[in-house]
Amino acid sequence: MWTVAAALSVAALLGAACGSSDDDEQQAATETTAANDSSAGANDATDATDAESDSAAAAAAESGADVTAEQMKAVIDGIDWPDNVEVTIGTDTWTFRSNGRPDHELPAQYLVPKPGVDARTATLDILQVSSTPDREVDVTYELPLAPKQNASATNLFGILGVIRSGGVVNDPYEADQKTIAVEATDLKIGDVTFIDSCSAHFNPMGYHYHGIPYCMTEVLDSPGQHSALRGFMVDGFPVYGPQGDDGAEETDLDECRGHFGPTPEFPDGIYHYHLTSTFPYTTLCLMGTPEDSSMQMPDMGGQTAP
């Protein structure tokens, strides 16, 4: 069960993790980038060689060109979205809306916190077997069509992205900020598990993945090739399964588990994230600007009893 106390403790954690000096540094870094970006833009329009000497432009060239809204629209339009996902494409943004459920199969039961327990510590003694919930929740995210990378990462907890199945992707932790969901394989009663074979489970905000959605990976990915698109993080950049260009697990990733490079949907290259088989499995930060409504919500320790 998620409580106000849990929210407060996470707020405190966030506060503790983001000391004031770090905040100032990050703020300064962001402002510097914004200034450099606009000057690089002006240089691009007038004199390409000047832009090369601009450090921000050089860094941008190194990390690759930004994807355009037109390219992104074409990709989003081309995705075979399931019936439970409604996509609306606007001018600068697009909206992902789902019923908070995935279109793939689910187990009949999950381990969930017993009613009334403090679910911030996921241990076997507070869990019980429960039927898979059938309720729906409204999941709506408005994402940029032309996402931009920032100079520094933004740390986030809670929902970090939307997955094409209709579910969402969270950070690796449960509400206690200690239990790493996909590693909690000891949380099992009989055949009933805390996390399903798709590295996911329910909480009151819907179905959320904590790692590689293997049940989709097996269907969508081909040996020897870059993983297929899984969805989009709340900063607008796409997220993929673990496979890099040669089909092996991508290892050359930044602190947010992203990198610039070609993908099946963006052959000219785009900054994108990979879900990985090692910690943090998803990510704990984003390099773009998260959507305004993406609250820094804690995970809710599975779910309350349906």
Contacts to Zn ion by CB under 5 A? 181, 261, 299
Sign of the torsion formed by the C-alpha atoms of 208, 210, 212 and 215: negative
Q: Which of 33/258 has CB closer to Zn ion?
A: 258
Q: Which is nearer to Zn ion, 33 or 263 (CB)?
A: 263
What angle in degrees, to the nearest 10, is found between the helix axes of 20-46 and 55-63? 90
Q: Which residue is nearest to Zn ion (CB)?
A: 299
- With beta carbons less than 8 A apart as the criterion, state whether 117 and 267 touch: no
Q: What's 18-72 look like in SS3?
A: CCHHHHHHHHHHHHHHHHHHHHHHHHHHHCHHHHHHCHHHHHHHHHCCCCCHHHH
Nearer to Zn ion (CB atom), residue 181 or residue 297:
181
Instruction: Of 256, 303, 69, give the one whose Cα is nearest residue 160.
Output: 256
Q: Minimum distance from CB of 299 to Zn ion (Å)?
A: 4
Question: Residue 226 Cβ, how far from Zn ion at the closest point, in Å?
Answer: 6
CB 174, min distance to Zn ion, A: 5
CA distance 287 to 273: 10
Assigned token pair, 249: 């697990």
Contact 211, 282 (CB under 8 A): yes
CB of 201 to Zn ion, least distance (A): 6
Element (H, E) at 207: strand 206-209
Q: Which is nearer to Zn ion, 37 or 104 (CB)?
A: 104
Nearer to Zn ion, 204 or 261 (CB): 261
In the complex, the smallest distance separating the C-beta of residue 53 from Zn ion, rounded to whole angstroms, is 29
